[in-house]
Chain A
Amino acid sequence: MNLTLKVWRQKDANSKGKIETYPVTDISSDMSFLEMLDVLNEQLLEKGEDPVAFDHDCREGICGMCSLFINGRPHGPQNATTTCQLHMRKFKDGDTIFIEPWRAKAFPVVKDLVVDRTAFDNIIQAGGYISVSTGNARDANETPIPKEIADQAMDAASCIGCGACVAACKNASAMLFVSAKVSQLALLPQGKPEKQKRVEAMVAQMDKEGFGACTNTGACEAECPKEISITNIARMNREYFSAKLSSNNT
């Protein structure tokens, strides 16, 4: 298939970018979206031009590294799919495809389609972990956890931290991401001892990074490649209010 790509090109963080148009030909419908971009980059290299920079790593939908705002939606037109798992059969011969980076103050563009998602790492570093003493692994069933609680925690933990929620939100809010990370630990006995400290620190860091606030539009949930539910945001709010009322942190 033959396509027209409208790609955001930006030399570096300080340059002003713009949309460039590139035709690509002989694209197989079996290619993934990133393989199609590989073909474009080979063409550009052959012509001696600068290839398009884009983030990718595992290419099997689990690492959260790929991003791309494709035809007006994070990770493109297919629901519950990362860009690397999006295939060209979802497009038609002759299509024009817009490819842009995530847009958020907290995710500055590094080059072309690559954005800096350090803000997410900073939020995790603020409290998205459990402090444990090292030693031998504990016995598997030492701490009983009801199946439905384990399932809820696992659903929240399936967040890959790609930032599609921020990209989809009209306020560039990170609340779906932060709430998934707060929830996966707050639901489980291992996460409970530090849950107050965690939610306070993570929300404070989220605000510091310059993300917007949630207006409950639900766009994040609709665009999340892992279908993280906004019930997590309600849980984070509950955790936050109760922590603020009763924690010793003044």
Chain B
Amino acid sequence: MSWFTKTLTSSIGRKLMMALTGLFLITFLIIHASGNLQLLANDGGKAFNLYTKFMTTSPIIKTVSYILYTSIIVHVIWAILLTRLNVSARPQKYEYDKLGQSSTWASRSMMLLGTIILIFLVIHMKTFWFVYKFGEIGMVTYDGVEYKDLYTVVVNAFKNPLYTGFYVVSMVFLAFHLAHGFWSGFQTLGLNHKKYTPLIKTVGLIIAIVIPVVFAIQPVYVLLFA
């Protein structure tokens, strides 16, 4: 093994991969959550459909999206590798365990939270991304140009209370995942400093609340008002 692969397969190297991909995925969440607010524009979906077309055709966005897919896959695979290592490090459990008070539930449950988010992601991609790329989708015309009408697909999905309920619950799990993940990513990168760590922790909590709330507003709004 070269020094490079040795580094990335060490315990700290695996954590580095988790931190880098995780923090990159958070920047994606911020863009995705804010961009999709155009669903609420109340213009019959024009702004959203124009935005969708831009996001699927811009060469820059397309390039970034490949990095994004890679990051998700790496984040998931490395999480499985690390969890297997971590579980194997304690083959015999304690009979009586009160360690719950020494750390937060979110920090101990990242794999569980991540698994639920992954399930959500697969369903989410199937409902929207797959239909947009490969499914049967209606067309709309704005100013003489044809666009795929993803807006109608989204509204129809969100009008199903079960789908929206699942969406909102998934966002709660995302909130807990981010509440630990954001700060933890910086700690793993070695960025722990008296001046900045309190700020990182505060920003992490704000992100953990704001991103899932902004996401959840969209299906709830559609369900109740659209």
Residues of A within 8 A of B (CB): 6, 8, 19, 69, 71-73, 98, 100, 103-106, 168, 170-173, 175, 203-204, 206-207, 210-219, 222-223, 230-231, 233-241, 244, 249-250
Contacts and interface: CB of A to CB of B under 8 A. Distances in A.
B75 to A, nearest CB: 14
Contact of B95 (A98, A218, A238): A98
Contacts of A171: 85-86, 89-90
By Cβ-Cβ distance, the 8 closest A-B pairs, closest first, are A72-B98, A238-B190, A212-B89, A234-B192, A171-B86, A217-B103, A98-B96, A212-B86
Nearest to A248: B3
Nearest to A8: B95
Interface in B95-119: 95-99, 102-104, 107-108, 110
Nearest to B90: A172
B10 A237 contact: no
A73 B102 contact: yes
A106 B15 contact: no
Contact of A215 (B95, B110, B190): B110
A95 to B, nearest CB: 13
A104 B189 CA distance: 26
A29 to B, nearest CB: 22
B10 A72 contact: no
10 contacts: A71-B96, A168-B99, A172-B89, A212-B86, A215-B184, A217-B104, A219-B102, A235-B190, A236-B190, A241-B12
Contact of A203 (B11, B96, B98): B11
Contacts, number: 138
Contacts of A170: 86, 90, 99, 103, 108
Give the size range of B's interface with the partner. Answer: 35 or more
Given A170-B108, A217-B108, A230 B187 contact: yes
B187 to A, nearest CB: 5
A2 B102 CA distance: 29
Nearest to A97: B96
A244 B5 CA distance: 11
A221 to B, nearest CB: 9
A235 B190 CA distance: 6
A213 B190 contact: no
Given A73-B98, A171-B89, A218 B12 contact: no
A208 to B, nearest CB: 10
Q: Classify the interface of chain B: helix, strand, loop or mixed.
A: helix
B187 A216 contact: yes
Nearest to A214: B15
A88 to B, nearest CB: 19
A180 B192 CA distance: 15
B88 interface: yes
A149 to B, nearest CB: 14
A103 B94 contact: yes
B112 to A, nearest CB: 12
Nearest to A250: B3
Contacts of B99: 72-73, 168, 170, 219, 223
Contacts of A206: 11
Contacts of A233: 187, 192
Contacts of A222: 102-103
B58 interface: no
B94 A100 contact: yes
Contacts of A250: 2-3
Contact of A72 (B7, B13, B96): B96
Interface in B10-24: 10-16
Which of B88, B96, B98: most chain A CB closer than 10 A? B96
